[in-house]
Amino acid sequence: MLQLKTAGYIAIKNLRNHLGLTPEWQTQEELETVTDRYHKAFLDERFEVSKTLGGLFLAHELIDRSIRTGEQERMDDPSLTAAEKLKLIKALDNMNNMMSLYPQYISIIEPSIRKIAREKKRPARILELASGSGGFALAIAAQAKQSSLPVEITGSDIVEEYVEYSNRAAEEQNLPVRFKTINAFELDALDTCSCDIILISQSLHHFTPGQLARIIVQSRLHGAAEFLGLDGHRGTDLLAGVPLVAMLQGISALTLDGYTSARKFYSELELDLIAWIATGSKQHRTEFSWPLTVLSIPFS
């Protein structure tokens, strides 16, 4: 209902006709600005198209506009203490385990892992950005340890308390994974070609369109073979479902964060637009694997 593909496709076509086939940028800062501008222009144009189409098209557009927000999640509030942040991300990890999301995530990225491992004749190297509690990276490491999954995983986050917590968890569980403090859209500290896949799971909506575009471009510049982004699928089902499941954790701030996140999830066409601006091509894919949207961008 909130994907709005009919009006969205028309809006993208109109944008390309009016603003040019390929947005121009020279620096990372210009890329961020251009992407944010195009994203806003896309939403505005989609609104105009929906008004022309009328009926349910306009009704769905109005619903989308009424719930869309740029509000920050509570867990991203810099005024929170380390203990409060850890409480929230641990509860989020519990949610993911309760819904058995990590096995689904692994099944989605496994084809890329095995393809790269075959081509390079070594385990595929993954860097996960914005890992939070590190739950997904820990799950991949556990799978690699227990089975023949040919992968080496490194997790990261900008919050040092998350990194310390995740490294302790990896040590306690004796898992082959390490976590680093990395700003997701400033990857200059990375060694070129140190990773094959740069991955963001459940955190795409925490970044602005311009920031996502920068992450995609920097992933390519640092020698990654692929960028993979997994996040909640924008729709009324998750708008109700995410806060409902979060409520079961008994933390009011997490329930509110769940609702805020569901309001911020990108539609498939929004991610398509961001990837197109960042790469200048249409080699990427956006796919729906309930309850997720998957963005895959191969660089080679």
**CATH number for position 95:** 3.40.50.150
Whether 76 maps to a domain, the answer reads no
With both helix axes pointing from N to C terminus, report the angle between 28-53 and 5-19 in degrees, rounded to the nearest 10: 120
Q: What digits encode the pLDDT tens for the residues 69-119?
A: 999 999 999 899 989 999 999 999 999 999 999 999 999 999 999 999 999
The answer to whether residues 226 and 277 belong to one domain is yes
The answer to whether residues 23 and 92 belong to one domain is no
The answer to whether residues 149 and 239 belong to one domain is yes
pLDDT-above-90 percentage for the chain? 89
Whether 75 maps to a domain, the answer reads no
Q: How far apart are CA 298 and CA 109, in angstroms?
A: 13
What are the C-alpha distances in Å from 146 to residues 25, 108, 139, 196, 221?
45, 18, 10, 22, 33
φ/ψ of residue 18, rounded to 5: -90, -40
Q: Is the pLDDT of residue 244 over 70?
A: yes
Choosing from 44, 67, 90, the residue where a domain stops is 67
Q: What digits encode the pLDDT tens for the residues 213-222?
A: 999 999 999 9
Q: How confident is the model at residue 187 (pLDDT cuts 50, 70, 90)?
A: confident
Residues belonging to the chain: 300
Q: How confident is the model at residue 20 (pLDDT cuts 50, 70, 90)?
A: low
Whether 107 maps to a domain, the answer reads yes
214 and 31 Cβ atoms separated by less than 8 Å: yes
- The whole domain housing 57 covers 5-67
Cα angle vertex 53, ends 5, 62, to 5°?
Answer: 70
Choosing from 67, 97, 114, the residue where a domain stops is 67
Strand partners, 231: 293
Collapsed DSSP state (helix, strand, coil) of residue 112: helix
The answer to whether residues 89 and 63 belong to one domain is no
Q: What digits encode the pLDDT tens for the residues 38-73?
A: 999 999 999 999 999 999 999 999 999 999 999 999
Q: Record the tokens describing residue 181, joined without a space.
A: 């403090």
